[in-house]
Amino acid sequence: MTGGRRTTLGDLATRLGLSVNTVSRALAGKDGVSERTRALVLDEARRVGYVAAAEPPAPERVRSRTVAVTIPSATHLFSSELIGAIEAGARAAGYSLDVFTTEESGEQEQAAARRMIDNDLAGAIVIPVRNRTEPWAEVLAAGIPLVLASREVPALPCDFVTVDNTAGAYAAVRHLLAQGCRTIVQFEEDLGISTIDHRREGYARAMAEVPDAVAHTILVPTRRFETAEPRWRATEAHRAGLALLDRRLDYDAIVAGDDYFALGALAALTERGVRVPEDVRLAGYGDHPYSAWLNPALTSVRIPARLIGELAVSLLLQRIAGETGPPVRRLIKPELITRRSSTG
């Protein structure tokens, strides 16, 4: 107590930077509060001499009518299509949408999760930063339903929706092998996330099925941590393509983990007088709108971003409504769009 006035529940919440509802649930021993938060609340209550019995009963939780989505970057086409589908589904169900951009930063991800807990949001659709379990375990412990999109974190017991990236990469490589290619270079971003791991798995599986196929992987330096510049640029893939040509490695195809990387590789090949597809065949990933307008038009794996968003928001709304049961794992089969860059 301070100056003779009894410390209130609101005072305690203000001191801790938490919502009144979170503090009330922690003091009452109710679920939906992480052990770390509960210990913090109890320690502060003892320190200031808070007496819970003097407070009127805390009201039952009133669910927020807001859901959240976290994305790694607002500049990538996948993110914009995903958000559009999620926003439409949430709005139709009477929910508003909060969008958090993490820029692949664990600190920004932690801040987004903390705001979700403090504001007692109804639920969230999350593209996690790399393979981090925290802080999303805390969000789940706070009783906020989560659906993971695009990137998987197996340790988190929540629903997950993505494209089958293993199948997508496998289809692209099998297509190149069917065109007679035998030495195929994979251009992939140097970043430890499940989508990239699964694409590399599909590439390796397809190459292993053909005895005389020779595999090479080029890890393209990531640009995602440079917040002052747009991410997903073709610049690094262009540099990697020129370096590959300087090695004078004998290869007849390149498969890229993103259409931007394919764009950079195509520019490098063209500058050095290497013809696509006559000398080297090329395939990308994502089927971005410009891919069909390149010269030659780019073969690419089409990712159904809107469908992923629609399924994710549908699963989230079911969980918000009280749906129970084991976590759902939905893999959507992608479509390989073949064009002249790989077919001649």
Q: So what's the pLDDT on residue 62? A: 55
Same domain, 266 and 229: yes
| Residue 291 scores a pLDDT above 60 | yes
Closest CA to 339 of 123, 170, 172: 172
Q: What is the pLDDT of residues 170-201, one digit of tens each?
A: 999 999 999 999 999 999 988 888 999 999 99
Q: Is residue 97 over pLDDT 90?
A: yes
Residue 61 is assigned to a structural domain of this protein? no
- Classify residue 4: in a domain, yes or no: no
Given this model, what pLDDT does residue 228 score? 43
Same domain, 310 and 203: no
Residues 178 and 253 in one domain: yes
Q: How far is CA 283 from CA 12, 213, 268, 298, in A?
A: 58, 17, 15, 6
**Tens of pLDDT along 329-344?**
999 999 999 999 999 7
Confidence of residue 2 (pLDDT cuts 50, 70, 90): very low
Edge-to-edge strand list for the sheet holding 214-220: 214-220, 183-189, 253-256, 281-286, 299-302, 335-337
Residue 192 sits in a domain whose CATH number is: 3.40.50.2300
Q: Identify whether residues 120 and 231 lie together within a single domain.
A: no
The residue to which tokens 């679920």 are assigned: 31
Grade residue 132 by pLDDT with cuts at 50, 70 and 90.
confident
In this model, does residue 31 exceed pLDDT 70?
Answer: no
Tell whether 140 and 266 lie within a shared domain. no
Q: What percent of the chain has pLDDT over 90?
A: 62
Per-residue pLDDT for 156 more than 50?
Answer: yes
Q: Are residues 234 and 251 in the same domain?
A: yes
Percent of the chain with pLDDT over 70: 90
Q: What share of residues in the chain are helix, strand, coil (percent, to 5)?
A: 45, 20, 40
Q: How many CB atoms lie within 10 A of CB 286?
A: 26
Q: Given this model, what pLDDT does residue 232 score?
A: 52
3-state secondary structure of 215: strand
Q: Is residue 54 predicted with pLDDT exceeding 60?
A: no
Strand partners, 331: 162
Residues 277 and 312 in one domain: no
User: In a 10 Å sphere around its CB, with 0-12 CB exposed, 13-18 middle and 19+ buried, how is residue 46 labelled?
Assistant: exposed
Please give the tally of structural domains in the chain.
3
What's the average model confidence in pLDDT over 47-52? 72
Query: What is the extent of the structural domain holding 41?
Result: 9-54
- 314 & 292 share domain: no
pLDDT score of 223:
64
For residue 64, the model assigns a pLDDT of: 83
- The whole-number pLDDT of residue 53 equals 46
230 has a pLDDT exceeding 80: no
288/318 same-domain check: no
Specify if 103 maps to a domain.
Answer: yes
